[in-house]
Amino acid sequence: MKTRLIILTEIIAPYRIPVFNALSQNLDIDLQVVFLAETDPATREWHIYTDEIRFSYSVLPSWRTRLGEHTILLNQKVPAVLQELAPDVILCGGYNYLASWQAQRWAQQNHVRFLLWSESTGADQRSESKIIESLKRKFFAKCDGFVVPGTSAQAYVRQIEASTKPVFIAPNAVDSQRFAANAELARADASRTRAKLGLPRRYFLFVGRLVKSKGILELIEAYGSLSDKLRSEVGLVFAGDGPLRSELEFQSRLISPGVVRFPGFVHRDELASYYALADCLVFPTRSDPWGLVVNEAMACGVPIICSEIAGCAADLIKANGLTTAPRDVQQLARAMEELAKDASLREEMSLRSRQLISNYSPDQCASGIAKAAISGYRAR
């Protein structure tokens, strides 16, 4: 008999669709995904690829607003939907929305296993008040088990909830085959691709929101500190948008020689071209529970410079890249210089990126979730 699994998650994120598609093909799982909203227009410009969805899903009625740096998302009908779907297991993607607490309470009242899908890490520097920390610990204590993307998140769960409850790893994944195929197409006609996108002949690449927490101010400072000769040979591209774009553009005009480009937000199927022609991806985040852009870049065969604070660093950055301390401009500049000056090192790291990312596929992520769902453990 199939295990009826409900996944309660925030929005229809493009990188989750391949995972849920794979999970829906598992013969032991009856999957229903419940989204709290279609998207978050204030922070995400993602296209919603509903034509690619092959799993059963619904979107709850919702109301969203911003309060400072925090999102408030309220949903209707959470208990009613759960009652109608009658799950054997609920996998909840987070604990920071009222719907998560409603689902957990419903699961307790109806004796349904409740698992938390958590990406938080102990190294994440996002400040949280004592009240929020206390609420988090209460939420963790009432979970029957946990699903995490990797080593750092697993250690964090054990730090918060030091019990015998099971922790299952479902490695964070993107559609690596799609990114790899699109990257090969871009490299096959590199001159045309570079001209079409207005890219420098060589460049460091950042992909993500242009906000302070991503370490972008340190990145442009590090680039500006490189030698004139190196900046004449290698540019810097920020693929993304956000509130700090105008400040970055101002800073870039003070850097000479050097080329800094701002193509704005780039949709999924265009991103591979930016990755494919880059010397390396630079991900200097001050705070990030994972960093899926690292998965994307690795699938495209790109070397990585990654902040050690990123949740993915412990699992994905091996012989394929370098790690740096967050906010350390000098260390970041040294890493950028090392990779830019050594073509053979970049080639070795490129090969290693492709090899490592083969273990982080949507199928493997789905397999980890399925294992968690089918497990019969329930806290008492």
> What is the CATH number for 137?
3.40.50.2000
Give CA–CA dist 13/11, Å, rounded. 6
Same domain, 367 and 353: no
Residue 96 is predicted with a pLDDT of 87
Same domain, 185 and 205: yes
Same domain, 102 and 40: yes
Same domain, 102 and 35: yes
- The strand pair at 260-261 and 235-239 is best described as parallel
Same domain, 228 and 146: no
Q: pLDDT tens digit string along 270-312?
A: 999 999 999 999 999 999 999 999 999 999 999 999 999 999 9
Residue 376 is predicted with a pLDDT of 67
Question: What range does the domain containing 83 cover?
Answer: 3-173+361-374
Residue 379 is predicted with a pLDDT of 44
Q: Is residue 162 part of a domain?
A: yes
Q: Is residue 380 part of a domain?
A: no
Same domain, 343 and 370: no
Same domain, 249 and 339: yes
Same domain, 234 and 89: no
This prediction has a pTM of 0.94
Q: Is residue 379 part of a domain?
A: no
Q: Is residue 230 part of a domain?
A: yes
> Between 176-188 and 292-299, two packed helices, what is the crossing angle to 10 degrees?
50
Same domain, 184 and 257: yes
Residue 380 is predicted with a pLDDT of 36
More confident residue, 39 or 102: 102
Q: pLDDT tens digit string along 312-348?
A: 999 999 999 999 999 999 999 999 999 999 999 999 9
More confident residue, 65 or 295: 295
62 Cα distance to chain centroid? 24
The whole-chain average pLDDT of the chain stands at 94
Q: Is residue 203 part of a domain?
A: yes
Confidence band of 43 (pLDDT split at 50, 70, 90): confident
Same domain, 77 and 201: no
Q: Residues 118-151, buried b or exposed e (16+ Cβ, 10 A)? A: bbbbebbeeeeeeeeeeebeebbeebbbbbbbbe
Residue 72 is predicted with a pLDDT of 82
Q: Is residue 253 part of a domain?
A: yes
Rg (CA), the chain: 21
| Structure-token pair, residue 120 | 């938080």
User: Can you name the residues that pair with 115 across neighbouring β-strands?
Assistant: 91, 145
Same domain, 199 and 222: yes
- Cβ-Cβ contacts under 8 Å for 276 (sequence gap 6 or more): 182, 183, 184, 186, 187, 190, 193, 300, 301, 302
Residue 161 is predicted with a pLDDT of 83
Tally the domains of the chain. 2
Same domain, 141 and 184: no
- Cβ-Cβ contacts under 8 Å for 295 (sequence gap 6 or more): 172, 173, 174, 176, 312, 316, 357, 360
Q: pLDDT tens digit string along 74-130?
A: 888 999 999 999 999 999 998 989 999 999 999 999 999 999 999 999 887 555 677
Q: Is residue 262 part of a domain?
A: yes
